[in-house]
Amino acid sequence: MTKPAILVIGRPMTYVAERLEATFALHALPPAGAGFAALATVRGIAMAGAQPRVDAALMDKLPNLEIVANFGVGYDAIDAQEAQARGVIVTNTPDVLTEEVADLALGLLLSTVRELPQADRYVRAGHWLGKPYPLTTTLRTRTIGIVGLGRIGKAVARRIEAFGVPVVYHGRSRQADVPYRYYPSLLKMAEDVDTLVSVAPGGTSTHHIINAAVLKALGPNGIVINVGRGSVVDEAALAAALRDKVILSAGLDVFEDEPRVPPELIAMDHIVLLPHVGSGTHHTRQGMGQLQVDNLTNWFAGKGPVTPVSETPWPRR
């Protein structure tokens, strides 16, 4: 029996690559300028990287494409609307990483508020021998505004509640089943809180929504935590706000042009920067990889996708 042809974008984990290779005929994109004739049989895409985007131009070169399986929750590197128009299913890997990313978000929040990485460096440099580490700000007096109250946002909110800290949220619409105050305006929420935790997805609707005006509204005690998508935060405006002490600090796990981080941010010692490790444990990445493989194998077995995204529901409407 002929194996379905799959185009692999990026570098999948060994665990995922082995399972894909056992079931599918794997292809890579040809070098720039080369023809796509060999890819005419491709029926699926396994996304393990954000470049190149799966957009109309790439789909045009894959006339038999049926499904795009993304590794990760965020799928802004895939034009899901275009896929929907062509009858192509898009899947992602929700739920399996929710708790891991929420754990990391709380760790990043605490590290930023209490300056844990800086205190670690202080000890290692021998400065404690001379004098105690300076006092820091606290979580106790803060109100946390969550930007994007989806699965991960709710998990973050539950953890923050356990600390006895008030939680409010901003999103596209009010959610009837949550106890937190809803702000239809992100700017208004920023005026009423001093800490933002962004778990918002990428895309045009969220691009740079945390901008200079929102940062100014947070005030000089303000802190921004981002574990969603780097494109949600205007990094130039953030760097300026940190430099000019418009806000106090930031903790970032995601960036606009990963893995390139703006030198202005790297030079700042009063912020915390992580290399997009929100879901970065063996346990969770294995679960994500298995779900990606399951989406593809189920599809080609005629069972339908396991976790289709909202733009390409299954069964089809």
Greatest alpha-carbon pair distance for the chain in Å reads 72
For 51-203, strand residue ranges (E) read 67-70, 89-91, 144-147, 167-170, 181-183, 195-198
Query: 282: Cβ–Cβ under 8 A, 6 or more apart, which residues?
Result: none
Residue carrying structure tokens 């969550």: 146
Catalytic residue among 82, 229, 256, 285: 229
> Which tokens go with 294?
């399951």
How do the residues of the chain divide into helix, strand and coil, expressed in percent and rounded to 5?
35, 15, 45
- Give the whole-angstrom CA distance, residue 91 versus residue 240: 37
In the block, which residue shows the tokens 């049989």? Answer: 41
**Which residue is catalytic, options 174, 258, 270, 283?**
258
Catalytic-residue membership of 258: yes
3-state secondary structure of 152: helix
Give the active site residue among 27, 53, 181, 276: 276
E strands present in 126-240:
144-147, 167-170, 181-183, 195-198, 223-226
Is 43 a known active-site residue? Answer: no
How many angstroms separate the CA atoms of 310 and 288, rounded? 18
Q: Per DSSP, what are the bridge partners of residue 169?
A: 146, 182
Distance CA 65, CA 58 (A): 10
The reply to whether 229 belongs to the active site is: yes
Which pair of tokens denotes residue 258? 């990963």
Catalytic residues: 229, 258, 276
